[in-house]
Amino acid sequence: MGRVAVGDIVTVSFPYSDGSGVKRRPALVLAEADERDVVLCQITSRRSSSPNPVPLRRTDLASGALPIDSFIRPEKLFTASRASLEHVVAAVSTEVLSAARSTAAALLSS
């Protein structure tokens, strides 16, 4: 896979928070941890009990496509090796990236 950038939506095997398994799902590249790893934020198509979901409409994409409108879950973060990322499917607008980052930062600072 080519170079992954902050703001890209990638597919990855995202781990369950209880460690019981993984699920292949889209995730937003929130930050670069270092040259080998990125920090990902889970994306779901279902509005859940997430306390601070960031809406992700298909019209919010700078490039690529998602099959349906979705939600970014800033409380579900994961550091992954770039090698474990499967595909880049889209990229979000700078406004959506900023909203996801600021929501995640607020959660981490509370």
Residue from 7, 2, 3, 46 nearest 27 by CA:
7
The pLDDT value given to residue 1: 61
The pLDDT value given to residue 89: 96
Note the residue count of the chain: 110
Distance CA 9, CA 59 (A): 14
CATH of the domain at 24: 2.30.30.110
Distance CA 24, CA 63 (A): 21
Distance CA 61, CA 50 (A): 22
**Domains identified in the chain, total number:** 1
The range of the structural domain enclosing residue 88 comes to 8-109
The pLDDT value given to residue 19: 82
- Bridge partner residues of 57 (DSSP): none
The verdict on residue 3 lying in a domain is no
Give residue-wise pLDDT tens across range 85-107: 999 999 999 999 999 999 999 98
Give residue-wise pLDDT tens across range 33-86: 999 999 999 999 988 777 889 999 999 999 999 999 999 999 999 999 999 999
The verdict on residue 55 lying in a domain is yes
